[in-house]
Amino acid sequence: MMIDLMPVRTDRPSRLARPWSPLLLAVCIAASGAPALAQFSLGDAPSVSPRIPGVPSLSTDLKLQGQQTTADYIVAVVNQEPITHTDVDKRVGRIMESAGRNPNARLPPPDALRQQVLEALIDEKVQLQYAKTTGMNVSDAEVDDAVANIASQNQISLQELRQRMRADGLDYDRYRNSLREQMLLERVRAREVNARIQISDSELDAFNAQAAAAGRDTDLNLAHILIAVPEGASADKVRQLAAKAEALRERAVAGVNFAQLVKDNTDDTGTRDNGGTFGMRPASRLPELFTDAVKDLKVGQVSKVVRSGAGFHVLKLIERENAGKASYTQQRARHILLRTTPQMSIKAARDRMMNIRKEIVGGQASFAQMARQNSEDGSATRGGDLGWAAPGQFVPEFEQALLALQPGQVSEPVVTRFGVHLIQLIERREVQLTDQQKREAARSVLREQRFESTYEDWARELRAAAFVDMRDAP
């Protein structure tokens, strides 16, 4: 089994084209008044788009000492710190490996790629040096949390992660240092760049006025099950497929987990692994057939079966945001958390959670009762009730599982960096933004729009003030 050693990035809002989206990652979290529990996500500042497309991480010198390597030499010196030929090779190797897994990746010619990699390494070293000289650091505890997150994403314990890294010839201590540098880079970029971005009240007023004048579209997040109809299918075959779609719709309406129905039945391979969701997008970018089918639905409801040129679709409305009315969807949920420890492995916690789920679904105990008896989270005394939460408030694994539920439904065990969760969706509601929240949302959008160009200016200035000695190959 291959281990994904890079942490999942959750610091960059994914729907920047919509004026209220950043609110979901910032303003609403503060406004909700929810406690800082284990499953909650702490939003960071926007990250910088990497200079090498598709490679947001640092190069990682992980191989164990003592293993044979090719002859090395210095290719650049940055304020007395060297960058070696091997440093560049390792980064290039990571990029090519990543590109090999992505059929749409397009890399520059080899010489141009190596030069871009070298420039990126120089910028990173300059920025890391600046961060350290200004007193910034990343504590051991923060690195521990990052490593624990990576282990949970791979659904293994920390001990198993270290064992597998050792078996693959990777040095755990070097890996921790690489993560520390990545976190320090993101931290110094956020601090320095955000301090340079100033947004006036008049700019906020102009942005909100422009958004209102544009009459912005309602944004929808739909999930679907596709039952494909082969070209030239007979009338009998079409009737059979229509009946299959209707049966799936009835099961979804009855409360069967929609994501599981998608996984087991859909013919759309592009959305099969993410619960059938298309992601939040303007209604104008969705087929009119779909928007008509869900226009009268409440969030969480399932449409009638609709027919397109591809086949039959069962649609579920996951989220709705009306930018003109400035509304968004909140969710209220309960959860049970079992924390993993050296004595409680992920597998053991999952097995125990499956038994808890069986009792709840079987009617032998209520969710709230089992939460009070078993949960290791601060919400246990409230029966696991997390209160109302806005999109982006939970860590990704938790939120994805929550979005797939209908009110009253209980999830399968969900693994996050905090442990193993069982989740029950209580209800959903649409909430209007206050004027102050609209202004904060506008500020977040404008800041995000200006972040990268401001970063480029800061990085250029920092680079210009550094001593960089480029060396020729021997």
Give 359 or 69, the one with higher predicted confidence. 359
Q: Is the pLDDT of residue 260 over 50?
A: yes
Contact predicate 11/183, CB 8 Å: no
pLDDT at 1: 46
Q: Confidence class of residue 25 from pLDDT cuts 50, 70 and 90?
A: very low
β-strand partners of 422 = 336
pLDDT tens for 176-229 read: 999 999 999 999 999 999 999 999 999 998 887 876 665 455 788 899 999 999
Give the containing element (helix H, strand E) for 244.
helix 235-253
What's the CATH number for 328-432? 3.10.50.40
pLDDT at 273: 79
User: Which is it for strands 311-322 and 306-307: parallel, antiparallel or unpaired?
Assistant: antiparallel
Which amino acid does the sequence have at 423? I
- CB count, 10 Å around CB of 423? 26
What phi-psi label fits residue 275: left (phi over 0), alpha (psi between -120 and 50 degrees) or beta? Answer: left
Contact predicate 213/324, CB 8 Å: no
Mean pLDDT for the chain?
A: 81
pLDDT at 289: 92
Instruction: Sort 220 into a burial class: Cβ within 10 Å, 0-12 / 13-18 / 19+.
Output: buried
Contact predicate 165/175, CB 8 Å: yes
Least confident of 53-62, 304-313, 319-328: 53-62
Q: Is the pLDDT of residue 27 over 60?
A: no
pLDDT tens for 372-428 read: 999 999 999 999 999 999 888 898 889 888 988 888 899 999 988 889 999 999 998
Which amino acid does the sequence have at 120? A
Q: What does the pLDDT average to over 38-65?
A: 39
Least confident of 51-60, 72-81, 228-237, 464-473: 51-60
Q: Is the pLDDT of residue 50 over 50?
A: no
What does the alpha-carbon distance between residue 88 and residue 67 come to, in Å, rounded to a whole number?
Answer: 18
Q: Which of 327, 379, 375, 321 is nearest to 34 (CA)?
A: 379
- Extract the tokens encoding 401: 């599982």
Q: Which CATH class is domain 217-322?
A: alpha beta
User: What is the model's pTM?
Assistant: 0.58
Give the containing element (helix H, strand E) for 110.
helix 110-133
Q: Is the pLDDT of residue 61 over 70?
A: no
Residue span(s) of the chain under CATH 3.10.50.40 come to 217-322, 328-432
Contact predicate 271/290, CB 8 Å: no
Give 56 or 281, the one with higher predicted confidence. 281
